[in-house]
Amino acid sequence: MLLVDRIRESVQKFAENQHGVQLKSVEIQPTKKEFEGDLTIVVFPLLRHIKSKPAELAEQLGSFMATHLDVVISYNVIQGFLNLTIADSHYLSFLQSIASPSSFGMKAVSDESQKILIEFSSPNTNKPLHLGHVRNILLGASVCQLLSAAGYRVHKTQIINDRGIHICKSMVAWQKLGNGETPHMAAEKGDAFVGKYYVAFDKLYKKQLAELMASGMDEDQAKNQVPIQIEAQEMLRDWETENPKVRDLWAQMNAWVYEGFAQTYKRLGVSFDSYYYESDTYVLGKDIIVNGLQAGVFTKKEDGSVWCDLSTDGLDEKLVLRADGTSVYMTQDIGTAVLRYKDHPDMNGMVYTVGNEQDYHFKVLFLILKKLGYSWASRLHHLSYGMVDLPFGKMKSREGTVVDADGLMQEMDDTAAALASSLGKLDGFDEDTKKELYHQVGMGALKYYILKVDPGKRILFNPSESVDFNGNTGPFIQYTYARIQSILKNVDVLDLPFNMNIPLEPKEKEVLKWLELYPQMIQNAAEQYSPAIVANYVYELVKRFNSYYQQVVILCEDQSTRNFRVRLASQVGCVIQSGMHILGISCPKQM
């Protein structure tokens, strides 16, 4: 049993035996550096159940812990905080007891484990993946790894936004301006090629709008009569009535985009277990809305549009089907949710990784699904995240002012190469090895910089700042891992015996304390869907190890001490690699 679990159990026994109270939760945290102790029990929450003064209750609890828990050798009370000092022997036993260093902290996944579907990426097929998508993809992929580490069966999925007016805009622009050009002829990735025509549509739209306004129309009148916009709307209606020519063009242009997406996903190191397409699910969504009308969940207005009145739930009326019978995003999202649960009846939950500008949309979606009678709707979760900002302002796809994912990844590789060369980090490596390391460092910098931030917060992304071999960065952590591997390269680490009575250096104990928190940290991060907790845990572990490394000689002369320090360094390396793997980051053995 982990130390924190033993302490929690002891507190619960104290509450039950001494006060007749059953506690469901106990808050335990590492003791702050300015106070004596290793672990701290926060007493204030206990006062809701036990009537006492904070310091008095902490004193009673401390005495109980010192008497009933052999690993507690002393305690001190600071107001409502009980600081416990743990015996060195516990931490030595902890290190000795790790049976499988590489899987330490991981929960085994079996057929009986709870199954979670996680949706992420979910791009439109009218443009390449960009920086905003990168945060979505990295966050979703990391949450998949995190929940798997916490013992869940994870299914990675996405919904491809392959239909709608935005898709038709690219198609109309290609018809008018493309002259039969293909991605191969243009020597461009398919997604970038199609995105080029989406930008071209916007330029032509603005030109035609200006011409109409110059002829005397006001802006509202002109917007309804822009020729290229009317063509796109007609194309959407033709698509929904399955016009063969429109469908063939749609299939061809989407195929170009999918080929481009596949290359980007491969470079990001991301894969999926299933794909859903709006072109399929919107039809099911329409059928569900028809049934909902009959059941009284929806109402039809005079113009033929269908709505769901959520005003009694504190929300607004929501359009679910247009007057002309065409679907909206809500239509297809309802269909997609129902189809997924039909495909995965053993699913225990579903996580949607979508930006926080869609918070309201998902409140409405989940509520509508509940009103439709789907019991599983209560197990849906929106993993909302903040936007990614750039120093030069907001990105706009239709204006072509986006940082696309491919260009960003290349910039990260180039930035890593320039910095590594200036520091002489890779002198002596052959060119192929350097190129691979530049990519590992560049991707490590990108992924860590984005994932170390709490999902709910906005990010100001600075590529050059992210690629730094000092501070809270991916390369700093990768370099520490490589340093550990260099120390251990000529040492057989497996089952090295050491004296269980070795006196621990203070910084050794700090490293061990932090190591032991890893399993609980994974569970906490999984409960909060937050890879940032993992990222910052690993950074704190690395800081503690580097401070320890600078103070002691790991490969010292005393064999037992040497064995212990090698085992400790090796386990730190395993946890660094494990935590970075959850973030989707590889750790080179040499840098």
Same domain flag for 423 and 566: yes
Same domain flag for 371 and 472: no
Residue 314 resides in a domain? no
pLDDT of 396 > 80? The answer is no
How confident is the model at residue 576, as a pLDDT?
98
Work out whether strand 39-42 and strand 28-30 pair parallel, antiparallel, or are unpaired.
antiparallel
Same domain flag for 381 and 486: no
pLDDT category, 402, cuts 50, 70, 90? low
Name residues whose C-beta falls within 8 Å of residue 385's C-beta, 6 or more positions apart in sequence. Answer: 135, 136, 139, 353, 354, 355, 356, 455, 456
How confident is the model at residue 400, as a pLDDT?
45
What is d(CA 372, CA 380) in angstroms, rounded to the nearest whole number? Answer: 14
Residue 101 resides in a domain? no
Q: To which residue do tokens 């520490």 refer?
A: 480
Residue 588 resides in a domain? no
Q: Is 250 left (phi over 0), alpha (psi -120 to 50) or beta?
A: alpha
Q: To which residue do tokens 């959850």 refer?
A: 582
Q: Please provide the average confidence, as pLDDT, over all residues in the chain.
A: 92
Same domain flag for 433 and 449: yes
pLDDT of 395 > 80? The answer is no
- What percentage of the chain carries pLDDT values higher than 70? 98
CATH code of the domain containing 414: 1.10.730.10
Work out the number of other CB atoms within 10 angstroms of the CB of residue 310: 16
What is d(CA 240, CA 238) in angstroms, rounded to the nearest whole number? Answer: 6
Residue 309 resides in a domain? no
pLDDT category, 399, cuts 50, 70, 90? very low
How confident is the model at residue 253, as a pLDDT?
97
pLDDT digits (tens, 9 = 90+) for 505-526: 999 999 999 999 999 999 999 9
Same domain flag for 386 and 428: no
- What percentage of the chain carries pLDDT values higher than 90? 80
Residue 468 resides in a domain? yes
Out of 66, 86, 106, a domain closes at 86
Q: 26-40, 114-128, 228-242, 425-439 — which is least confidently predicted? A: 425-439
pLDDT category, 46, cuts 50, 70, 90? very high
Q: What is the mean pLDDT of residues 532-538?
A: 98
Work out whether strand 299-300 and strand 81-86 pair parallel, antiparallel, or are unpaired.
unpaired
What is d(CA 500, CA 26) in angstroms, rounded to the nearest whole number? Answer: 30
Same domain flag for 445 and 326: no
pLDDT digits (tens, 9 = 90+) for 69-112: 999 999 999 989 999 999 999 999 999 999 889 999 999 999 89
Task: Answer yes or no: are the C-beta atoms of 156 and 118 closer than 8 Å.
Answer: yes
How confident is the model at residue 398, as a pLDDT?
45
Nearest Cα neighbor of 259 from 197, 198, 189 is: 189
Report how many domains make up the chain: 3
Same domain flag for 11 and 40: yes
Residue 540 resides in a domain? yes
What is d(CA 271, CA 264) in angstroms, rounded to the nearest whole number? Answer: 10
Domain that holds residue 550: 405-453+463-582
Q: What is the mean pLDDT of residues 543-553?
A: 95
Rounded (5°) CA angle 286-354-168: 50
Same domain flag for 74 and 213: no
Same domain flag for 366 and 504: no
pLDDT of 485 > 90? The answer is yes
pLDDT digits (tens, 9 = 90+) for 178-207: 999 999 999 999 999 999 999 999 999 999
CATH code of the domain containing 358: 3.40.50.620
Query: Which carries the bigger pLDDT value, residue 586 or residue 403?
Result: 586
Same domain flag for 386 and 419: no
pLDDT of 316 > 90? The answer is yes
Same domain flag for 217 and 143: yes
pLDDT of 8 > 90? The answer is yes
What is d(CA 126, CA 197) in angstroms, rounded to the nearest whole number? Answer: 8
How confident is the model at residue 171, as a pLDDT?
97
Same domain flag for 411 and 436: yes
Task: Answer yes or no: are the C-beta atoms of 552 and 508 closer than 8 Å.
Answer: yes
pLDDT of 397 > 50? The answer is no
What is d(CA 127, CA 68) in angstroms, rounded to the nearest whole number? Answer: 64
Task: Give the N- to C-terminal CA distance of the chain in Å, as an integer.
Answer: 37
pLDDT digits (tens, 9 = 90+) for 327-342: 888 999 999 999 999 9
pLDDT of 261 > 90? The answer is yes
pLDDT digits (tens, 9 = 90+) for 279-304: 999 889 999 999 999 999 999 999 99
The string of DSSP codes covering 309-362 is E-GGGTS-EEEEE-TTS-B-HHHHHHHHHHHHHHH-TTEEEEEEEEEGGGHHHH
Nearest Cα neighbor of 126 from 253, 315, 270 is: 253
Residue 301 resides in a domain? no
Residue 310 resides in a domain? no
